[in-house]
Structure 1
Amino acid sequence: MTALLELAPGVHSLPGAVTSVVLEDGHGGALLVDTGLDDSHARKLLRALAAAGLTPTGILNTHSHADHHGGNAHILRAFPELKIFAPPLEQAVITHPILEPITLFGARPPRDLQNKFLLAPPSPARLAPEPGLTRIGGVHIELIEVAGHASMMYAVRTGDVLYAADALFGTAALGKHPLTFCADSALQKASAAKLADLEGVRVVMPGHGDPTEDLAGLVAVNLAAYARTTDTVLAAVRAGPASVDDLLARVCEQLGVTMTNAGAVVLNRAVVSAHLTELLEAGAVSMDVQDNRLVFVP
């Protein structure tokens, strides 16, 4: 059985493809931060809680991507009184998950895009408090706005432990997914850089990866990866006028990415689009309509 990993007294994580964080309230209860992709992860989380003698007091979803709230529904079946909190915009998607594949596809998504990676079960999320010091589920925490990977996202700090959510990725995750997902690549970079300025952080836990005591190093690795994607997209545009799909193919070839399913294509297409917007706003590329096609030109 997977056990909770102690990061500090009363602060734990559940290792896995996606990190869940467990914050004790000091009275046998615990706030759950992100519940994983599906029922399987949620069951492991509940078993680990029970083994530690803890009962969930609430759920905080840092953002609305399916791999961070897909376990909500299973946990609610066991604890139907729990309240779920999420940042603005993100709570709407968690409540109405079909919004995620609709946004990625641009219309009612085909069946191939209605899978657990893009369409989690719905759960009734409400707005989390605004960034700053607050209390959720009986636990005192600090919420830090780190939008960019998602339209809105919160990192969570308690004492000297920082859960960066998907503002920062572990080095293995960055290597496995060179096209790191983002809704706004400029904000993604700004949010990562902002975390480097935090003082007194002893342990940082990325949403995907292992805990580390080297916050500055982790930020630097992530910023380098994000910048590499921007540079690769720019180089793809400079190779000649092209649509987003043409540019995606060029970028994947350059980065050694092979896509084998529709979900990977729409996710990576969104990443290229985000970096194109950043380049457009910086004046590095232009957008034009040629032969009934939306193309990007140097």
Structure 2
Amino acid sequence: MSLIALAPGVLYFPGAVNSFVVVGRVMDALLVDTGLDDSHARKLLRAVAEAGLTPSGILNTHSHADHHGGNAFILKRFPELKVFAPPLENAVITHPILEPLTLFGARPPRELQSKFLLAPPSPARLAPEPGLCRIGGADIELIEVAGHASLMYAVRVGEVLYAADALFGPDALGKHPLTFCADSRLQKQSAARLEQLPGVRTVLPGHGDPTDDLSGLVAVNLAAYERTTEAVMDAVDGGEASVDELLARVCDALDVTMTNAGAVVLNRAVVSAHLTELLEAGRVGMKVTGNKLIFSAQA
């Protein structure tokens, strides 16, 4: 598979996670997000070489394993490359055990140490602050889009926007109705803010195909995020319950079947994020009863 051009000097490598490639000085290539594993990274490097480009740096938009799992393989081939990431996210990329540890709340059991939650470590440093900057010889604009992760950057080059996981393609939203987020309120705000960017001709989500309809993509995502909030609220309206009990109700309502521990901890985090949003909006209350943390609807 080859790199696909979005604009002169702006390309991407399609996959379960898209890798964004920006050509810098001469034929240098900044690699933005390296995929889940060695397999994706190997194919990405092959496509970059076939295009006559040489990797000049790595930018990870956030610290989820499917966006930096290919770093280690690429660094074995190009050990001189520097890895950049947003604040907090750089710490997780450097110490990946923080991802499953945070989701589980303690040292994670073996089942939560799969490649989907625990990528190989790579030494990440702080990316520049949002705005225009140069990384790996490539001139880009970093845009803060926190919410899906504690902090995340979208990347703009001219008329092309790589939205990372601030926006998902419609197929991805349909496949994963409980779209992951660390902060559902910020997730919605970040998506809405992207729609206000002037002059964007093409937008590439982290998961999905490129489109020239930024407004349409934002609308689909905002509707999906709000649908999750209301599903959590409906679950709370069903009677006071713990997070795990609410998770089961939400999954039943959205026709989600969880078959492994990874899915449970990820979806539990999503429900928790939306509960926090509802708590802050005064729609839900929280109390401790019978040694349980219980949520209930507010009158």
Q: Shorter-normalised TM-score: what interval?
A: over 0.9
Q: Residues 84-118 of structure 1, C-alpha deviation per residue, up to 9 Å, x if partnerless?
A: 00000000000000000000000000000000000
- Superposition pairs for residues 128-143 of structure 1, below 5 Å? 128-143=127-142
3-state DSSP of counterpart to 1:115: coil
The aligned residue for residue 243 of structure 2 is: 244
- Amino acid of the structure 1 residue aligned with 2:136: G
Runs of 5+ unmatched residues, structure 2 = none
3-state DSSP of counterpart to 1:277: helix
3-state DSSP of counterpart to 1:50: helix
- Amino acid of the structure 2 residue aligned with 1:31: L
- The question of 1:293 aligning with 2:295 is answered no
The aligned residue for residue 146 of structure 2 is: 147
- Amino acid of the structure 2 residue aligned with 1:121: P
Q: Residues 144-165 of structure 1, C-alpha deviation per residue, up to 9 Å, x if partnerless?
A: 0000000000000000000000
Q: Residues 54-103 of structure 1, C-alpha deviation per residue, up to 9 Å, x if partnerless?
A: 00000000000000000000000000000000000000000000000000
Q: Is the 8 A contact 1:288 1:295 kept in 2?
A: yes
The aligned residue for residue 3 of structure 1 is: 2
Q: Runs of 4 or more off by more than 3 Å in structure 1? A: none
Rounded to whole Å, the distance in 1 between the matches of 2:55 and 2:180 is 30
- Amino acid of the structure 1 residue aligned with 2:272: S
The aligned residue for residue 174 of structure 2 is: 175
1:26 to partner: Cα distance: 4.0
Q: Residues 151-210 of structure 1, C-alpha deviation per residue, up to 9 Å, x if partnerless?
A: 000000000000000000000000000000000000000000000000100000000000
The aligned residue for residue 63 of structure 2 is: 64
1:290 to partner: Cα distance: 1.0
Rounded to whole Å, the distance in 1 between the matches of 2:53 and 2:4 is 14
Runs of 5+ unmatched residues, structure 1 = none
1:28 to partner: Cα distance: 1.2
The aligned residue for residue 157 of structure 2 is: 158
- Amino acid of the structure 2 residue aligned with 1:200: G
Rounded to whole Å, the distance in 2 between the matches of 1:91 and 1:188 is 20
Rounded to whole Å, the distance in 2 between the matches of 1:237 and 1:161 is 41
Rounded to whole Å, the distance in 2 between the matches of 1:235 and 1:25 is 50
3-state DSSP of counterpart to 1:216: helix
Rounded to whole Å, the distance in 2 between the matches of 1:136 and 1:53 is 19
Paired residues, what number? Answer: 297
How high is the TM-score relative to the length of structure 1? Answer: 0.99
Q: Give the RMSD, CA atoms, in angstroms.
A: 0.4
- Amino acid of the structure 2 residue aligned with 1:75: I
- Superposition pairs for residues 89-238 of structure 1, below 5 Å? 89-238=88-237
Q: Is the 8 A contact 1:10 1:26 kept in 2?
A: no
How high is the TM-score relative to the length of structure 2? Answer: 0.99
- Amino acid of the structure 1 residue aligned with 2:73: H
- Amino acid of the structure 2 residue aligned with 1:44: K
- Amino acid of the structure 2 residue aligned with 1:119: L
- Amino acid of the structure 2 residue aligned with 1:263: G
Rounded to whole Å, the distance in 2 between the matches of 1:28 and 1:15 is 20
- Superposition pairs for residues 239-278 of structure 1, below 5 Å? 239-278=238-277
Q: What is the percent sequence identity of the aligned residues? A: 78
